Amino acid sequence: MTTIAVLAAPPRPGLVATDLAATSPLSESQAAAWYEAVLKDIAVAVERSGGDLLVNYRPDDLLPDDHVTETTSEAAVRAVVASALDDIDDVRFEPQVGSTVDARAGNTVTHLLREEGVNSAAVVDPTIPFLTRPVIDNAAMKLRRSNVVLGTSTRGRVYYAGFTDPIDFDGAFADPALETLTARGRDAGGEIDFLPIHPVVETGADLLDALPILKARIDAERAVPVHTATVVDELGLRVARDGDEPRLVVD
């Protein structure tokens, strides 16, 4: 069974999904609503899978001063997850440790593998709306045979990074993360495997990739990330075409 650490921050405007707000018609508040919806869908997917959900939240002392409020980071993240799941008694909430993504991910994975003795550990963040239960369970199966399993995305990014043994995490998520993590896994003597490609959503350009997939799945009556689909509908977020050039529209 894989422990999946979701690296989460409280969904506050100007704190999360800032690149998305800067490169799309979404305001900072709307981008934060997107981030919150994706976080909810990831929590649901992990809870329904064979994995264990660990919500690794950014504590107040790792937040910019202007995003520290009377509600603690832990309480804010707990409330989001609780609104998505029927019961959070089995969900672990632990603070992130480290000043960089590499450090936070590495500290979590290394602690789980070495100190807690889990068979495999993975990290994801709320940029992957299509992280479904079958994807998570597929990754768990691959981790029985490989030391590192990576979810491939566009432009050399990853949406899932799973490990059975620690690697050198210093700079391990440097762009292109897919190549860097693969090289670190090989340096550690491990076997590497990959998951099917899915779009991560960090920018407006990424939304142009993700929204048609989401709409097609809705039209085909296939499984969709419900919270993400709901916020897209509430925002009136869609792809329009002026000639041959697609563009994002918020109605």
* Alpha helices for 23-132 (secondary structure H): 28-48, 73-84, 101-110
Q: What confidence tens digit (pLDDT) does each residue in 193-243 have?
A: 999 999 999 999 999 999 999 999 999 999 999 999 999 999 999 999 877
Q: What confidence tens digit (pLDDT) does each residue in 97-128 have?
A: 998 999 999 999 999 999 999 999 999 999 99
**Bridge partners for 194 per DSSP:** 150
- 8 Å CB contact between 176 and 156: yes
pTM of the model: 0.96
Is the pLDDT score of 63 beyond 90? yes
Domain 2-200 has what CATH class? Answer: alpha beta
Q: Which residues contact 72 (CB under 8 A, 6 or more apart)?
A: 60
**Bridge partners for 195 per DSSP:** 151
Q: What confidence tens digit (pLDDT) does each residue in 124-156 have?
A: 999 999 999 999 999 999 999 999 999 999 999
> Which residue bears the tokens 């603690």?
72
Domain boundaries defined on the chain: 2-200
Q: What local confidence, expressed as pLDDT, does residue 22 receive?
A: 98
